[in-house]
């Protein structure tokens, strides 16, 4: 419950950060701007899915979104020729909105990984508590 209550505002923050930075990305090379629009839409949909029902698919989408956004940030800054036609951000590692987005994305990745780990532990504990059909059968119906 706490992870979901933290993940939903983090997704909203991720969308807001990209909305604030969106006007600068809609220049002649619109691929980065289209990527921003995709991140914004995916963050809103993942947040809505998390509010409606914290299904494992919602958590997978949330973690995947954060990984994809973080990868895009790293690629636009590290590839010498630019990425998606964005040549202006190569080497620009000190962008305040970019650093804020990286922090939010790292938080979302940690929350999704923590939820996955917790789900694994809950499933393992549940499986250990269940008994096999042979152990539940009455003594007179067990083979000798």
Spans of all domains in the chain: 2-141
Q: What is the pLDDT of residues 96-135, one digit of tens each?
A: 999 999 999 999 999 999 888 887 666 665 555 555 555 5
Query: What does the angle CA 23 – CA 25 – CA 29 come to, to the nearest 5 degrees?
Result: 135
SS3 of the chain: helix, strand, coil, percent, to 5: 75, 0, 20
Q: What is the pLDDT of residue 31?
A: 83
Is the full-model pTM beyond 0.95?
A: no
Confidence of residue 141 (pLDDT cuts 50, 70, 90): low
Look at residue 73 and tell me whether its pLDDT is greater than 80: yes
d(CA 51, CA 32): 28
d(CA 99, CA 95): 6
CB-based burial of residue 53 (10 Å sphere; 0-12 exposed, 13-18 middle, 19+ buried)? exposed
Confidence of residue 144 (pLDDT cuts 50, 70, 90): low
Written as six digits, the tokens of 23 are 């006007």
Q: What is the pLDDT of residue 16?
A: 97
Q: What is the pLDDT of residue 128?
A: 53
Q: What is the pLDDT of residues 11-58, one digit of tens each?
A: 999 999 999 999 888 877 788 889 999 999 999 999 999 999 888 899
Look at residue 83 and tell me whether its pLDDT is greater than 70: no
């Amino acid at each position: 419950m706490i992870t979901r209550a933290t993940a939903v505002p983090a997704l909203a923050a991720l969308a807001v950060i990209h909305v604030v930075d969106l006007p600068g990305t809609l220049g002649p090379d619109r691929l980065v701007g289209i990527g921003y629009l995709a991140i914004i839409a995916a963050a809103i949909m993942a947040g809505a899915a998390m509010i409606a029902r914290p299904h494992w698919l919602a958590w997978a989408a949330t973690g995947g979104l954060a990984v994809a956004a973080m990868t895009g940030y790293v690629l636009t800054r590290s590839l010498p020729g630019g990425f998606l036609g964005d040549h202006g951000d190569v080497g620009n590692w000190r962008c305040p909105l970019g650093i804020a987005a990286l922090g939010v994305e790292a938080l979302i990745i940690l929350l999704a990984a923590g939820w996955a780990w917790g789900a694994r532990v809950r499933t393992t504990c549940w499986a250990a508590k269940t008994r096999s059909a042979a152990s539940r059968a009455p003594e007179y119906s067990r083979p000798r």
